[in-house]
Chains A and B, each alone.
Chain A
Amino acid sequence: MFILDIVSSALLIAGVFFGLTGAVGLFKFPDFFTRIHAASVTDSVAAILIIGGLLLQTSFDLNTAKLLFILAFLLITSPTASHALAKSARHGGLLCLAETTNKPTDERPHD
């Protein structure tokens, strides 16, 4: 039990760390696509780590199954959401930072 607790808290702390880095990246990165990259880290890695940590806290009953369902659902939906956002932005004509700086005629998008 003791070892499980340690592993579980390590996973939870790692999850929180990745969630924080995602939030920092969301504010600090220069353009939309790098920001969405940072945000999707929060969605995927942090969610896996936190739910993994919570899984170890259960005693393999109904709650374990529910958490696994949530994990599977998140693993399907969050990357899709990030993908749809990025694709729609691209489709709508948003350029990434390298493209905007190479074209001096275009204005850089506002932050």
Chain B
Amino acid sequence: MTELIDLVLLAMLALTALKIIFLKDLFAVVMLFGIYSFLSALIFINLDAVDVAFTEASVGAGISSVLMLGTLALTGRTEKENKRSSLLPLLVVTVTGAALIYGTLDMPPFGAANNPVHEHVAPRYIEESPKEVGLPNMVTSVLASYRGFDTLGETVVVFAAAIGVLALLGVRREKTDNVRQSGFTDHYVLRIIAKLVIPLIILFALYVQFHGDFGPGGGFQAGVIAAAAFILYALVYGLPSAFRVVGPKFLQGLASFGVLLYASVGLYSMFKGGQFLDYNKLAVDPLAGQHYGIIIIELGVGITVFAVMLSIYYAFASQTERGNT
């Protein structure tokens, strides 16, 4: 049964990808990208990788659709006609695809018990992490404790992305009092519902943030969901109102604060006589130390992701509004 569901989902994924290639209307392409992400999230759920599915749904289908639409508002909605022959690219793609398929022939059979992935570090994590870290959600244990250094790197990458976007676009903050022109002023239903829904979204983001130790979720997803709430506010009530709630300057500080919070946990554990990011030293009881460490670094990740996503949106949206006025 799961194979059947997998096959159907993969076929839909392939169809969506093909349609994305042939469509010229970029708005439709963005929507199809959202569908593509949702389909992959469903495949991840089918593979029991709930955390990854959660990330894919919130980042791939949620935030990136909004960011891509923001880009389209700057660039225009149709793809430029390409006059050049597509024979050479087709050849390159065919050869690469054939090489990749040839490579899969050497792969071990799908789902076999003695595959290398099941015999390397995974058994150790499954057997030892309840004793060493003691969290019900093993994904969080691996992500935040065993691979804490990798996750620090990922957070820095997210931070670097924000620096890149802000260096290219920058948030213009002009003293225009066009609060009334911005946002959907005549969509009364939308405004009321947004007011109703935004607190719920933020509450859910906090739940995902602090429940990540026990269920699917964590800093990445929570940051994105919280950013989505503020983006909804900015969309409906206009960018100037959103700037008054969380300013771009404050967000820049917040983004670096998250990374610093994460790294300072590592430094603190070094002061306590352990290695970098050795949570065992954070408290007298190693297990409690692990829990403290994971909660704090997840908070750092969440803060950085939230601030980065929102400031990237601000950068796009403020450019668009400048073009309109």
Could you tell me which residues of chain B, from 94 to 136, have a CB within 8 Å of some CB in chain A?
none
Nearest neighbor of A87 in chain B, beta-carbon distance: B187
Query: A93 CB to closest chain B CB, in angstroms?
Result: 15
Query: What chain A residues lie within 8 Å of B90 (beta carbons)?
Result: none
Query: What chain A residues lie within 8 Å of B187 (beta carbons)?
Result: 84, 87
In the docked arrangement, what's the CA distance between A83 and B196, Å?
A: 16
Say yes or no: is A4 at the interface (Cβ < 8 Å to chain B).
Answer: no
Say yes or no: is B284 at the interface (Cβ < 8 Å to chain A).
Answer: no
Query: A25 CB to closest chain B CB, in angstroms?
Result: 19
B197 touches A76 (CB 8 A): yes
Say yes or no: is B193 at the interface (Cβ < 8 Å to chain A).
Answer: yes
Query: B283 CB to closest chain A CB, in angstroms?
Result: 30
In the docked arrangement, what's the CA distance between A84 and B186, Å?
A: 11
In the docked arrangement, what's the CA distance between A76 and B199, Å?
A: 14
Query: B197 CB to closest chain A CB, in angstroms?
Result: 6
Say yes or no: is B189 at the interface (Cβ < 8 Å to chain A).
Answer: yes
A80 touches B200 (CB 8 A): no
Say yes or no: is A77 at the interface (Cβ < 8 Å to chain B).
Answer: yes
Say yes or no: is B160 at the interface (Cβ < 8 Å to chain A).
Answer: no
In the docked arrangement, what's the CA distance between A80 and B191, Å?
A: 10
Say yes or no: is B14 at the interface (Cβ < 8 Å to chain A).
Answer: no
In the docked arrangement, what's the CA distance between A87 and B184, Å?
A: 11
Query: A75 CB to closest chain B CB, in angstroms?
Result: 11
Count residues of B near A (Cβ-Cβ below 8 Å). 9
Could you tell me which residues of chain B, from 178 to 206, have a CB within 8 Å of some CB in chain A?
184, 186-187, 189-190, 193, 196-197, 200
Query: What chain A residues lie within 8 Å of B200 (beta carbons)?
Result: 73
In the docked arrangement, what's the CA distance between A13 and B162, Å?
A: 47
Nearest neighbor of B236 in chain A, beta-carbon distance: A84
B190 touches A84 (CB 8 A): yes
Nearest neighbor of B201 in chain A, beta-carbon distance: A73
In the docked arrangement, what's the CA distance between A87 and B186, Å?
A: 10
Query: What chain B residues lie within 8 Å of A91 (beta carbons)?
Result: 186
Query: A27 CB to closest chain B CB, in angstroms?
Result: 15
Query: B185 CB to closest chain A CB, in angstroms?
Result: 11
Query: B2 CB to closest chain A CB, in angstroms?
Result: 19
Query: A92 CB to closest chain B CB, in angstroms?
Result: 13
Nearest neighbor of A77 in chain B, beta-carbon distance: B197
Query: What chain A residues lie within 8 Å of B190 (beta carbons)?
Result: 80, 83-84
In the docked arrangement, what's the CA distance between A85 and B184, Å?
A: 12
Write 19 A-B pairs (CB below 8 A) sorted by A numbering: A73-B197, A73-B200, A76-B193, A76-B196, A76-B197, A77-B193, A77-B197, A80-B189, A80-B190, A80-B193, A83-B189, A83-B190, A84-B184, A84-B187, A84-B189, A84-B190, A87-B187, A87-B189, A91-B186
Chain A interface (Cβ < 8 Å from any Cβ of B): 73, 76-77, 80, 83-84, 87, 91
Return the 8 tightest CB-CB contacts between A and B, nearest first: A80-B193, A84-B190, A83-B189, A80-B189, A76-B193, A84-B187, A87-B187, A76-B197
Beyond A83-B190, A84-B190, A91-B186: 10 further Cβ-contacts under 8 Å?
A73-B197, A73-B200, A76-B193, A76-B197, A80-B189, A80-B193, A83-B189, A84-B184, A87-B187, A87-B189
